């Protein structure tokens, strides 16, 4: 009873149209169309291996129907660094020996990308909030955390020396303050 | 749940018309994450309501009005005086889920582990239902039974109205789960109205440890008119078991569910009292 249809969206900056069916998930479509950097892990929105950015926000592609991406901006791991020119975070992961089996890493990188593109304040609590939906079953997280913290500390130092963050009004600073002050 | 068709209406009335026509084969879709927990033998037609301008938070008179398709991440990020919902939303699921899951989806079909129904009961919220015209329903009535039944005729939830926390009001909520992202084992929320250390009013709600979220009227009665002390809180939470059926699951016995709820309630009451005192102190 499935009816065939198409879906159009901007994928890694390029306008694309694919055949799909109403029940297809974005993860299945991406992998079918060759974007295999986005991994199939749990398939039920728990592990984060399939994380992509939808309109700049990290989402699980395994939970998203393709039609929910219609007309929107989708970014996959293929848009972040290359083998010859890895991103800053990818470089730190390699240099820190933070990658073992590597299956979770594309999702980790996409969540970190959302963090770096959305926030100007990288408090540990904010970082944990962005990364809390990505599981790693090899490393125990320590080396991944150190690699990310290294990049974020470097950015914070550069931003303290560089232009005022207020010069980026499109960025929203979120301080996850749990004190009563935050409630007021 | 399988989808056989995907419809994207351009107005609330068109969405309602589609759902009325589809009957039991139609399903309003917002974030869509809940569909993964629903089993159905027949495929559904999804009516996407995420592009109808229902994603917003705005203060209006004495309420924060939250559009039905506002993602939980937006509620988590919103800051304003007399607002406490962000504290709750940041403890729901993971960052990726909060970015797509909506307040409407979270409360229109209540799963036992849902946190927001408990919080909205404690905050005495109101729910706006669209049935050709908008009508407000008190959270007490909305969550009196499974809200999904209310929407079988094609009606839609358009907004949730959360009252401003008044002076002397304190809010406290506690969610206990196995991991930060796991479904709650116990979720409780409370609002205390505290005047000169006397509890003038209390709303206490619990979920997950029981089959369906509800207020604990016996606990509220045991608090009202009493002094806000730990001893009074202990005495009151001991009444949590009255008229409540406790769920045992995930290795927990019903007795342990009750114990965990009482401990969580005590913590939530202390937080609410501290919250109220700090507001008065300003």
Residues of B in contact with A60 (CB under 8 A): 96-97, 100
Q: Among A59, A133, A176, select the one facing B181 at the smallest CB separation.
A: A133
pLDDT (mean) for B203-226:
96
Q: What is the pLDDT of residue A175?
A: 36
Q: Are B123 and B215 in contact (CB under 8 A)?
A: no
Q: Among A57, A131, A184, select the one facing B99 at the smallest CB separation.
A: A57
The verdict on domain A81-177 having CATH code 1.10.150.120 is yes
State which fold the B169-281 domain adopts.
Enolase-like; domain 1 (3.30.390)
What is the average pLDDT value for chain B, to the nearest integer? 93
Superfamily of domain A1-79: Beta-grasp domain (3.10.20.30)
pTM of the predicted model over 0.80? yes
Give me the percent of chain B exceeding a pLDDT of 90: 80
The verdict on domain B3-48 having CATH code 3.90.1690 is no
Nearest-angstrom CA–CA distance, A148 and A88: 9
Q: How confident is the model at residue A143 (pLDDT cuts 50, 70, 90)?
A: very high
CB contact under 8 A, A64 and B32: yes
Which range is most confident: A108-117, A165-174, B82-91? Answer: A108-117
CATH 3.10.20.30 domain residues, chain A: 1-79
Q: How confident is the model at residue B180 (pLDDT cuts 50, 70, 90)?
A: confident
Domain edges within chain B: 3-48, 57-163, 169-281
Residue A101 pLDDT exceeds 90: yes
pLDDT (mean) for B184-192:
95
pLDDT (tens digit per residue) in A47-74: 999 999 999 999 999 999 999 999 999 9
pLDDT (tens digit per residue) in A110-133: 999 999 999 989 999 999 999 999
What is the average pLDDT value for chain A, to the nearest integer? 88
Q: Are B238 and B156 in contact (CB under 8 A)?
A: no
Residue B280 pLDDT exceeds 90: no
Q: Among B29, B181, B275, select the one facing A132 at the smallest CB separation.
A: B181
Q: What is the pLDDT of residue B173?
A: 96
Q: How confident is the model at residue A162 (pLDDT cuts 50, 70, 90)?
A: low
Nearest CA in chain B to A119: B77
Residue A86 pLDDT exceeds 90: yes
Q: How confident is the model at residue B15 (pLDDT cuts 50, 70, 90)?
A: very high
Residue B259 pLDDT exceeds 70: yes
Residue A150 pLDDT exceeds 50: yes
pLDDT (mean) for B262-268:
96
Architecture of the structural domain at B57-163: 2-Layer Sandwich (3.30)
pLDDT (mean) for B29-52:
86
Residue with tokens 């996850």: A176
Residue A156 pLDDT exceeds 80: yes
Calculate how close chain B gets to A169, using CA atoms only, in Å: 16
Of the candidates B54, B184, B188, B192, the residue with the CA atom closest to the CA atom of residue B128: B54
pLDDT (tens digit per residue) in B88-146: 998 999 999 999 999 999 999 998 889 999 999 999 999 999 999 999 999 999 999 99
Q: How confident is the model at residue B55 (pLDDT cuts 50, 70, 90)?
A: very high
Residues of B in contact with A137 (CB under 8 A): none
Instruction: Check residue A72 and report its DSSP letter.
Output: S
Q: Given CB atoms, is B278 within the 8 Å cutoff of chain A?
A: yes
Residue A147 pLDDT exceeds 60: yes
Q: Given CB atoms, is A184 within the 8 Å cutoff of chain B?
A: yes
Per residue, the 3-state secondary structure of chain B, as one string, reads CCEEEEECCCCHHHHHHHHHHHHHHEEEECCCHHHHHCCCCCCEEEEECCCCCCCCEEEECCEEEEECCCEHHHHHHCCCCCCCHHHHHCCCCCHHHHHHCEHHHHHHCCCCCCCHHHHHHHCCCEEEEECCCEEEEEHHHHCCCCHHHHHCCCCEEEEEEEECCCCCEEEEEEEEECCCCCCEEEEEEEEEEEECCEEEEEEEEEECCCCCCEECHHHHHHHCCCECCHHHHHHHHHHHHCCCCCCCCCCCCHHHHHHHHHHHHHHHHHHHHHHHHHHHHC
Residue with tokens 């408990």: B118
Q: Given CB atoms, is B83 within the 8 Å cutoff of chain A?
A: yes
Residue A172 pLDDT exceeds 60: no
What number is the ipTM of this complex? 0.91
Q: What is the pLDDT of residue A167?
A: 44
Nearest-angstrom CA–CA distance, A157 and A153: 6
Q: What is the pLDDT of residue A180?
A: 30
CATH 1.10.150.120 domain residues, chain A: 81-177
């Amino acid at each position: 009873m499935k009816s065939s249809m198409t879906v159009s969206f901007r994928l890694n900056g390029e306008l694309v149209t694919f055949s799909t069916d109403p029940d297809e998930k974005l993860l299945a479509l991406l992998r079918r169309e060759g974007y295999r950097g986005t991994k199939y892990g749990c398939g039920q929105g728990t592990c984060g291996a399939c994380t992509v950015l939808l309109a700049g926000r990290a989402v699980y592609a395994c939970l998203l129907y393709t039609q929910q991406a219609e007309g929107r901006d989708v970014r996959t791991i293929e848009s972040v660094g290359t083998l010859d020119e890895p991103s800053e975070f990818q470089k730190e992961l390699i240099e820190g020996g933070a990658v073992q089996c590597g299956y979770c890493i594309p999702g980790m990188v996409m969540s970190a990308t959302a963090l770096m593109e959305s926030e100007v304040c990288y408090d540990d609590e904010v970082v944990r909030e962005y990364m809390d939906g990505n599981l790693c079953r090899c490393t125990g997280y320590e080396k991944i955390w150190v690699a990310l913290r290294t990049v974020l500390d470097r950015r914070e130092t550069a931003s303290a020396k560089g232009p005022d963050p207020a010069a980026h009004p499109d960025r929203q600073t979120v301080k996850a303050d749990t004190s009563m002050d935050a409630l007021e | 749940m399988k989808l056989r068709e995907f419809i994207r209406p351009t107005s609330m009335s068109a969405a309602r018309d589609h759902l009325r026509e589809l009957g039991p084969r139609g399903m309003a879709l917002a974030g869509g994450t809940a569909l993964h927990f629903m089993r159905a033998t027949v495929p559904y037609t999804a009516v996407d309501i995420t592009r109808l301008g229902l994603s917003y938070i705005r203060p209006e008179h004495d309420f924060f009005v939250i559009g039905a398709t506002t993602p939980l991440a937006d509620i988590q990020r919103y800051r304003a005086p007399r607002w406490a919902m962000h504290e709750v939303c940041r403890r729901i699921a993971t960052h990726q889920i909060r970015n797509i899951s909506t307040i409407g989806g979270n409360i229109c079909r209540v799963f036992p582990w849902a946190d927001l129904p408990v919080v909205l009961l404690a905050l005495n919220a109101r729910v706006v239902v669209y049935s050709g015209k908008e009508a407000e329903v008190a959270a007490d009535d909305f969550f009196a039974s499974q809200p999904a039944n209310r929407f079988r005729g094609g009606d839609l939830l358009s907004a949730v109205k959360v009252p401003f926390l008044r002076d002397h009001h304190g809010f406290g909520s506690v969610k206990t789960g196995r991991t930060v992202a796991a479904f709650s084992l116990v979720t409780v929320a409370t609002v205390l109205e505290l005047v000169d250390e006397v509890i003038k009013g209390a709303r206490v709600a619990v979920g997950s440890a029981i089959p369906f979220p509800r207020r604990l009227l016996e606990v509220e009665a045991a608090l009202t008119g009493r002094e806000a002390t730990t001893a009074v809180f202990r005495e009151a939470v001991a009444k949590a078991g009255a008229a409540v059926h406790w769920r045992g699951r995930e290795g927990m016995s019903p007795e342990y569910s009750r114990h965990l709820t009482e401990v969580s309630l005590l913590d939530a009451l202390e937080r609410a009292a501290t919250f109220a005192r700090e507001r008065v102190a300003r």
